[in-house]
């Protein structure tokens, strides 16, 4: 049976590299389209892969420059301010995954989905580090009959690997957010000023205190 390829937008960056590796380990024969505005970069990635093709993306076109070719799903690995990939997937009834929208940016994406909620599956995947901490925490919590509280901390510094898109995301979050949306005793509230700072105990037993000016959402 022929399987339509997954379109990876941003597949030429560091996050794209890790994503492709993970997909290949689990689905070695899954066809992939590596989408980029730079054909040379996309072809450099696909030259080392089987069942993969480079495609040039036009973010200003309704069809992303892909015409009528069949696509099985879309994953966008950078901040898509135009929501072009989501509109493309929604219009064609194919699943869409986005990983860069902060909690304060998801309203336009949800609004598109609400217009036709039965059109396709849409995943808002910005859980901190794209679910790396969230999924691990939920898995660990299954061992307990009752959980009274969950505290998650993650520290990212200049030595962590990531491409330009990751840097751009962190700079955007730091520049537009001055408050933290927190849940306490069952209620959500915005914490500002000194209350927006965060402290946690790292895996090496050191205690870290991050002021509001140095944390991201």
Residue 168 or residue 28, greater confidence = 28
User: Tell me, what DSSP letter sits at residue 4?
Assistant: P
Confidence band for 44, pLDDT divided at 50, 70 and 90: very high
Domain with 104, as residue range(s), is 6-124
User: Which of 90-99, 127-136, 200-209 has the lowest average pLDDT?
Assistant: 127-136
Average pLDDT for the chain: 83
| Last residue within a domain, chosen from 124, 145, 173 | 124
> pTM for this structure?
0.73
Domain match, 27 and 81 both: yes
Domain match, 167 and 193 both: yes
Question: How much is the pLDDT for 162?
Answer: 66
Give tens-digit pLDDT for 141-173.
999 999 888 877 666 666 666 666 677 777 777
List Cα–Cα distances, 35 to 29, 75, 188, in angstroms. Answer: 18, 10, 38
Would residue 1 count as lying in a domain? no
Residue 138 or residue 167, greater confidence = 138
Give the whole-angstrom CA distance, residue 111 versus residue 52. Answer: 33
Angle at Cα 134 formed by Cα 74 and Cα 172, nearest 5°?
Answer: 65
Domain match, 95 and 13 both: yes
Question: How much is the pLDDT for 214?
Answer: 47
- The stretch 131-146 carries a mean pLDDT of 86
Domain match, 50 and 80 both: yes
Domain match, 118 and 172 both: no
Domain match, 91 and 15 both: yes
| Last residue within a domain, chosen from 79, 106, 124 | 124
- The stretch 16-38 carries a mean pLDDT of 93
Domain match, 40 and 146 both: no
Domain match, 116 and 142 both: no
Task: Name the residue among 89, 98, 78, 90 with its Cα closest to residue 37.
Answer: 78
Question: How much is the pLDDT for 46?
Answer: 95
- The stretch 200-205 carries a mean pLDDT of 78
Domain match, 66 and 120 both: yes
User: Which of 108-122, 125-139, 148-162 has the lowest average pLDDT?
Assistant: 148-162
- Number of structural domains, the chain? 2
Domain match, 12 and 118 both: yes
CATH assignment at residue 23: 3.40.50.720
């Amino acid at each position: 049976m022929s399987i339509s390829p997954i379109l990876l937008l941003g597949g030429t960056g560091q996050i794209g590299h890790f994503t492709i590796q993970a997909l290949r380990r689990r689905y070695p024969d899954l066809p992939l389209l590596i989408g980029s505005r730079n054909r040379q970069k996309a072809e450099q990635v696909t030259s080392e892969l089987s069942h993969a093709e480079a495609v040039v993306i036009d973010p200003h076109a309704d069809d992303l420059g892909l015409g009528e070719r069949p696509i099985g799903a879309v994953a966008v690995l950078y901040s898509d301010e135009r929501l072009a990939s989501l509109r493309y997937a929604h219009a064609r009834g194919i699943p869409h995954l986005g990983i860069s929208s902060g909690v304060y940016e998801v309203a336009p994406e949800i609004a598109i989905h609400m217009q036709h909620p039965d059109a396709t599956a849409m995943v808002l995947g910005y859980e901190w580090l794209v679910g790396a901490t969230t999924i691990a925490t939920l898995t660990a919590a299954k061992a307990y009959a009752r959980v009274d509280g969950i505290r998650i901390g993650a520290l990212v510094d200049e030595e962590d690997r990531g491409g330009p898109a990751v840097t751009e995301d962190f700079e955007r979050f730091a520049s537009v957010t001055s408050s933290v949306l927190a849940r306490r005793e069952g209620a959500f509230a915005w914490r500002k000023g000194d209350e927006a700072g965060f402290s946690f105990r790292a895996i090496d037993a050191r205690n870290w205190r991050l002021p509001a000016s140095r944390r991201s959402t």
